[in-house]
Chain A
Amino acid sequence: MQADVPPTATWRAITLQSLPVLGGAVVIGVLSGQILVAFQDRLFDVPVLLALVPAVNGIGGNVGSILGSRVASGLHLGGLWSNGGHGFRRDATASLILAAATFSFLGAFAHVIAPVLGIPVTLRFQDLVLVTLLAGLGLMLVMVVLVILVGWLSHRFGWDPDNVVVPVLTTAGDTLGIVFLLAAGGVVGI
């Protein structure tokens, strides 16, 4: 398996370089699991919220990984603020629009499909859409700030952005999604 594989691309190198960041992701994952456990009763009372947990986390992680991956490619090509920050502004704007559209659709789709899947929905249609939209927008604003910070750090310390920016952004989307979902639920009085 050694033929034509540069030393930085062997499974050992990938594993060793990934372990610290992914280990951190696991720690944060377990802590966000404790958030789930702490709000277990509320999640079981409003089952559609429990069913939305992987969706909100997953889509938050998806949009985060698009932003992270694009910013990582940009960092390979020069830096966050190269070309007057045009590329970064474009990526941040696109991420916010993607989040607003996708999270609104998520609430609407869940309201329609959940009863079909045997999950009772007690919220009004517009309230569930508002919950997912607020959760998505709050999440994205935090992630844009985070990508600036991590992008600067990886540039500063010479880390490979593909190994650092993407996992950090994805973890943030994964974890904070639960917090923003519960907070947005609180706003509409769940």
Chain B
Amino acid sequence: MSEAGVRDILRESLPLLLGMAVLEVLAGSFLGRMEASLERLPGLLALVPAVLAMRGNISTSMGSRLGTLTRFGLVPRDRWTSPLVWHNIVASLVLGVVLAFAAAVLAHVVTVAAGLPSAGVLRLGAIAVTAGVLSGVVMGAVAIVTMRVAFRRGLDLDNVAGPVLMTMSDVFTLLSLFAAAAWLGGA
């Protein structure tokens, strides 16, 4: 790894990043279509970056941990799960629930403090926690698959896991938020 040069990093990362750009624009157009929900549920727009950042951070640091564990031979490469992997997934779900609710409370407080209307802490909280759990379950599976595929193909996980998990996280979190807002947001 210490012999890798700028070109090696570009060769491994650039194709992924360009693919991510394509997926992110598609996810972004989806956000554009949430405009009705965003207008009907004031406070939700303020919540979107927080929930995206939360799930993205949890997923990428989980990927970074799994990568380090695998590199040092602490996660078996011939099985999909192990106690260490399960601990990571449980931590990811617990963090998701706690932080999503905290984000909803904060978004409500800041929105009200700014003198703007809010859909209410319970409704925002229910939407955020539901989206956090949905995206957490999906992203746990995505993290494990990403790690295994990267190792099978001999890719440097530091160059691969970040972009893949971050983008998949944005796509699935926006989908989860959209579904949660439609389901729990009222008509």
Name the interface size band of chain A.
35 or more
Q: Which of B21, B57, B86 contacts A25 (CB 8 A)?
A: B57
Evaluate contact between B47 and A11: CB separation under 8 angstroms: no
Closest partner residue, chain B, to A112 (CB atom): B25
Which among A12, A34, A109 is the interface contact of B110 at CB below 8 angstroms? A34
Is the CB–CB distance between B86 and A1 below 8 Å? yes
Would you call B131 an interface residue if the criterion is a C-beta within 8 Å of the partner chain's C-beta atoms?
no
Task: Report yes or no: A117 in contact with B21, Cβ–Cβ below 8 A.
Answer: no
Q: Is the CB of B18 within 8 A of A66?
A: no
B114 & A34 in contact (Cβ 8 Å cutoff): yes
**For chain A, what secondary structure do more than half of its interface residues adopt (helix, strand, loop), or is it mixed?**
helix
The answer to whether A55 and B61 have CB atoms under 8 Å apart is: no
Please give, as numbers and ranges, the residues of chain A lying within 8 Å of B114 by CB-CB distance: 34, 37
Tell me the dominant secondary structure on chain B's binding face: helix
Contacts of B33-67 to chain A: CB distance below 8 A: 35, 45-54, 56-58, 60-61, 64-65, 67
**Contact between A98 and B10 (Cβ–Cβ < 8 Å)?**
yes
What's the Cα separation between A77 and B72 when bound, in Å?
13
Q: Which residues of A contact B181 (CB under 8 A)?
A: none
> Does B87 sit within 8 A of A, measured CB to CB?
yes
Contact between chains at B6 and A94 (CB < 8 Å): yes
Cβ of A15 under 8 Å from chain B: yes
Q: Given contacts A14-B91, A94-B10, are A117 and B52 in contact (CB under 8 A)?
A: no
The answer to whether A30 touches B110 (Cβ under 8 A) is yes
Query: Once the chains are docked, how many angstroms separate the CA of A146 from the CA of B71?
Result: 27
> Taking the nearest CB of chain A, how far is it from the CB of B84, in angstroms?
6
- Tell me the smallest distance from the CB of A106 to a CB of chain B, in Å: 5
B133 / chain A contacts, CB cutoff of 8 Å: none
Residue picked from A36, A73, A87, most chain B C-beta under 10 Å = A73
Assess the A11–B90 pair: CB atoms within 8 A: yes
Q: How far is the CA of A162 from the CA of B57 in the complex (A)?
A: 11
Give the interface size bracket for B toward A.
35 or more
Interface membership of A110, Cβ < 8 A: yes
Q: A11-B90, A19-B95, A34-B114 are in contact. Are A113 and B2 (CB under 8 A)?
A: no
Known: A10-B87, A61-B166. A51 touches B54 (CB 8 A): no
Distance between Cα atoms of A51 and B56 in the complex (Å): 18
Can you report 18 residue pairs joining A to B where beta carbons are below 8 Å apart? A3-B83, A11-B94, A14-B65, A18-B58, A22-B95, A25-B54, A26-B106, A37-B114, A58-B20, A58-B24, A59-B21, A62-B166, A65-B60, A69-B67, A106-B24, A166-B162, A170-B56, A170-B60
Question: In the complex the two chains form, is A33's CB within 8 Å of B50's CB?
Answer: yes
Chain B CB within 8 A of A127 CB? no
CB pair B29 A51 closer than 8 Å = yes
B31 touches A30 (CB 8 A): no
* Among all A-B residue pairs, the 9 with the closest Cβ atoms: A29-B50, A65-B162, A33-B46, A55-B24, A14-B91, A29-B53, A51-B28, A11-B91, A11-B90
A52 near B: Cβ within 8 Å?
Answer: yes
B162 lies within 8 A of A162 (CB)? no
Determine how close the nearest CB of chain B comes to the CB of A12; give it in whole angstroms. 8
